[in-house]
Amino acid sequence: MNSLSNISLKDYREFIKNACCKYIGTNSGHEKWTRRDLTRPIIVQTHIDPVPEFIIKNALRSLNLNKKDFFDILYANEAAIQKLKEGLEKK
């Protein structure tokens, strides 16, 4: 399995978008992303590239996903994305 270190900012944004998150806006170099089942937004620091592993792990915890889900969603595995969307529809 791949490592969560050295994930580029571009790839991290793509993952968040594929994880059904919606971009809210940017404030002082911090992007805000949300999803209807989240109680707090996911914050992305636009000035740090690559994204530190602990930031990715915090987002995975907030999104209730694991490392395998991360790579499935990042590489646009349609089955994983569909499963995520179905799970969100049930909530």
Domain locations along the chain: 9-90
Q: 67-74 and 78-90 are packed helices; what angle lies between their axes, rounded to 10 degrees?
A: 120
Q: For 9-90, which CATH class?
A: alpha beta
The rounded mean pLDDT for the chain is 88
For residue range 25-46, list pLDDT tens digits in order: 999 999 999 999 999 999 999 9
CA atoms of 65 and 51, how far apart (whole Å): 17
* Confidence (pLDDT) at 31: 96
Structure pTM? Answer: 0.83
Q: What is the mean pLDDT of residues 59-86?
A: 84
